[in-house]
């Protein structure tokens, strides 16, 4: 199996290429990880200019020799590629799996909206650097290479699902790149935001007419929360219940996704 790895957002972490390649060679010998040279590029904040990143994505997505695209890391910037890449995806792009999370949610959402490929929220190559990162990465490679269900988010219950970083989801609302999530269990997670900012994003979610037909909302990890002054004073789950009530859908509890070692795979649609 040939898996293309590229960086669609922030400047990449090329130091992870050696350890993740070594792990894959031992644990998943059937996988050939091919890292695009663009992984080493830098243009200010980004892993190469928008044009360079878009070209790398289209090269691998439209190449029938690749079975999947796995993203190296998130950050910010994949949304800047959508207008360029989406009209140029050919037949080979429809047969691939696409796996990542965080900022890559822009791409996952746009692909799923057009039913292109098999899309999943899950660990990326850079997660090899986390404590216990081998186990995190194994969930991704196991799903990609072997269809291994052991790495799936354990609360998936047979209903269609989709997972997003909350800030990415909020940015997608009102755009043509937000997929139809009717009857889906929507799972959200967040990192490096203050509680007031999370509440503001939940306001967007709670008032989004595009989301009123979801089956319910679950919450993944909310980590590296920035300090509020004064203290915020409202638990995150109380916020979720309140905004789900405004949206008119049930809050369905916690999920094992997020910017943590425990991040699991959530295929979009039915797992």
- DSSP letters spanning 116-160: -SEEEE---GGGGGSTTHHHHHHHHHHHHHH--GGGB-TT--SS-
Collect the ranges in the chain with pLDDT lower than 70: none
pLDDT for the residue numbered 39: 97
Structural domain spans, the chain:
2-151, 161-267
Predicted confidence at residue 248, as pLDDT, reads 98
For position 79, what pLDDT does the model report? 98
Give the span between the Cα atoms of 49 and 37, in whole angstroms: 13
Strands (E), the chain: 2-6, 32-35, 68-71, 97-100, 118-121, 161-165, 185-191, 216-223, 251-254, 266-267
Determine the pLDDT at residue 207. Answer: 97
For residue 222, the model assigns a pLDDT of 98
Q: Specify the CATH architecture of the domain 2-151.
A: 3-Layer(aba) Sandwich (3.40)
The Cα–Cα gap between 36 and 7 comes to 8
Q: Are 143 and 152 in contact (CB under 8 A)?
A: yes
Show the CA angle centred on residue 13, arms to residues 92 and 43, nearest 5°: 80
How crowded is residue 49: how many other Cβ atoms within 10 Å of its Cβ? 15
pLDDT at 45: 97
Q: Which CATH number fits domain 161-267: 3.50.50.60, 3.30.1330.90, 3.40.50.2300, 3.50.30.60?
A: 3.50.30.60
Question: Which pLDDT score is estimated for 54?
Answer: 98
């Amino acid at each position: 199996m040939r898996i293309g790895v590229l960086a669609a957002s922030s400047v990449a972490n090329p130091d992870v290429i050696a350890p993740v390649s070594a792990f894959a060679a031992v644990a998943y010998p059937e996988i050939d990880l091919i890292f695009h040279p663009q992984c080493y590029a830098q243009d200010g904040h980004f892993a190469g200019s928008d044009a360079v990143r878009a070209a790398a994505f289209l090269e691998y997505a439209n190449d029938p020799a690749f079975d999947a695209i796995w993203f190296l890391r998130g950050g910010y910037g994949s949304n800047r590629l959508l207008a360029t890449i989406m009209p140029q995806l050919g037949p080979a792009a429809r047969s691939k799996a696409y796996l990542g999370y965080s900022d890559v949610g822009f791409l996952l959402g746009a692909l799923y909206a057009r039913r292109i490929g098999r899309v999943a929220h899950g660990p990326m190559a850079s997660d090899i650097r986390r404590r216990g990162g081998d186990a995190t990465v194994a969930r991704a490679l196991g799903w990609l290479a072997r269809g291994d269900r052991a790495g799936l988010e354990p609360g998936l219950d047979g209903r269609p699902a989709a997972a997003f970083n909350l800030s990415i989801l909020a940015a997608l609302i009102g755009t043509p790149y937000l997929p139809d999530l009717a009857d889906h269990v929507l799972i959200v997670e967040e990192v490096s935001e203050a509680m007031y900012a999370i509440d503001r994003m939940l306001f967007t979610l709670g008032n989004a007419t595009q989301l009123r037909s979801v089956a319910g909302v679950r919450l993944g990890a909310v980590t590296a929360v920035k300090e509020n002054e004064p203290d915020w004073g409202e638990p995150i789950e109380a916020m979720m219940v309140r905004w789900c009530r405004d949206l008119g859908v049930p809050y369905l509890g916690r999920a094992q996704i997020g910017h943590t070692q425990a991040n699991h795979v959530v295929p979009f649609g039915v797992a």
